[in-house]
Amino acid sequence: MVNGCDTENVPNQEEFALTDKNKDGQVTLIELHKAIRAYDPAGIDFSNDGVIEWFKDLDTDKNGKITLFEYLLTLKRQAKQKNQERNMIAMRFRRYFDEADTNGNQKLSLAEAAAFATKYRFSEKKLLDAFNLSDKNKDKQLQFDEFVISFPAV
């Protein structure tokens, strides 16, 4: 527990400690800038404005320093937002799948997928390619998990 924040399942404490160069338990904007410049695994080119905005988001009490509590709290909030976004996307996929599954058997035939593609003006060639690539068990039908793979490609 850090100031009432459960930290047991948060792997980011080490990351915070590495960023806190002077080990005072707080990260300044300069420390955050240096850490981002030193460790950039995805090759992301953070702009100064982007780092400043992220710092402002992390600095919840607006005192110009980020504590471990603020860091963990913000990451927890961001994770919750991502989960909500994923759930909304999953619900949207489910609605589309159910709409395309006209016979209600929880599988899409190529004909059902083609009718769905036509209704939403998707490219039939892209649909056919995506259908064939996503049909993992090669049963000529898409279950929901296979549909989720193919739908973004269409």
Q: What is the pLDDT of residues 70-101, one digit of tens each?
A: 999 988 888 899 899 989 988 998 999 999 99
Rounded distance, CA 72 to CA 16, Å?
Answer: 9
At 44, the pLDDT band (50, 70, 90 cuts) reads: low
Distance CA 102, CA 109 (A): 10
Please state which CATH number belongs to domain 101-153.
1.10.238.10
Kindly write down the DSSP assignment for every residue of 13-59, as one continuous string.
HHHHHHH-TT-SSEE-HHHHHHHHHH--TT-----HHHHHHHHHHH-
Same fold, 13-83 and 101-153: yes
- Does the domain made of 13-83 have the CATH classification 1.10.238.10? yes
Q: What is the DSSP letter of 60?
A: T
Is the pLDDT higher at 97 or at 153? Answer: 97
How far, CA to CA in Å, does 149 sit from each of 20, 67, 91, 122, 140? 40, 40, 14, 16, 15
Task: Burial-class residue 15 by CB neighbours within 10 Å (0-12, 13-18, 19+).
Answer: middle
Give 90's contacts (C-beta < 8 A, 6+ positions apart).
148
What's the pTM? 0.56
Domain ranges of the chain: 13-83, 101-153
In this prediction, residues 43-62 reach a mean pLDDT of 84
Terminal Cα distance for the chain, rounded: 46
At residue 108, the pLDDT reads 93
Place of tokens 């709409």: 99
Residue 141: enclosing H or E segment and its boundaries? strand 141-142
